[in-house]
Amino acid sequence: MTIKEIQEEIIDEFSMFEDWMERYEYIIEIGKSLPIINETFKKDENLIVGCQSKVWLHSEIEGNNLQFTADSDAILTKGIVALLLRVFNNQKPQDILDADLYFVDEIGLKEHLSPTRANGLVSMIKQIKLYALAFQSKLS
């Protein structure tokens, strides 16, 4: 699936919920499905700067696509990073760099997060795009 198709799927899923408490619960459930990160990737160099919680993000290239693994010590943050990985995992670096991440605004995520969590969300997206930029440079 393309990044746009995945975002549309997420928007459709979130439209089923009546209120934000249900959406928060759904985000937490998504976080529970995040594959367990290899403990060797839980090191300081993989921590995302700017997150209130601890968030580890690791990426490697497989073929021409980026593969991400992540974890967090906070259940809501783990769900947020799981949503982002759903969009960006197994995508080409250039597609990640070109992506307009509109689903975040469409589902109202950023405005329903505390300012520190919203900053963390921006930091996660920035780090994913930095990985994409680094791998795109290697591919060029």
The contacts of residue 133 (CB under 8 Å, 6+ apart) are 93, 97
Q: What is the mean pLDDT of residues 59-85?
A: 95
Go through 101-124 and write b for each residue having 16 or more CB atoms within 10 A of its CB, e for each that does not: bebbeebebeeebeeebeebbebb
Establish whether 51 is a catalytic residue: yes
At residue 120's C-alpha, the angle toward residues 130 and 71, to 5°, is: 80
Strand, helix or coil at 63? Answer: coil
Q: What is the mean pLDDT of residues 5-18?
A: 96
| Predicted pLDDT at 101 | 93
Among the options 10, 27, 51, 99, which is catalytic? 51
Q: What is the mean pLDDT of residues 37-48?
A: 94
First vs last C-alpha separation in the chain: 24
In this prediction the pTM is: 0.94
| Predicted pLDDT at 78 | 96
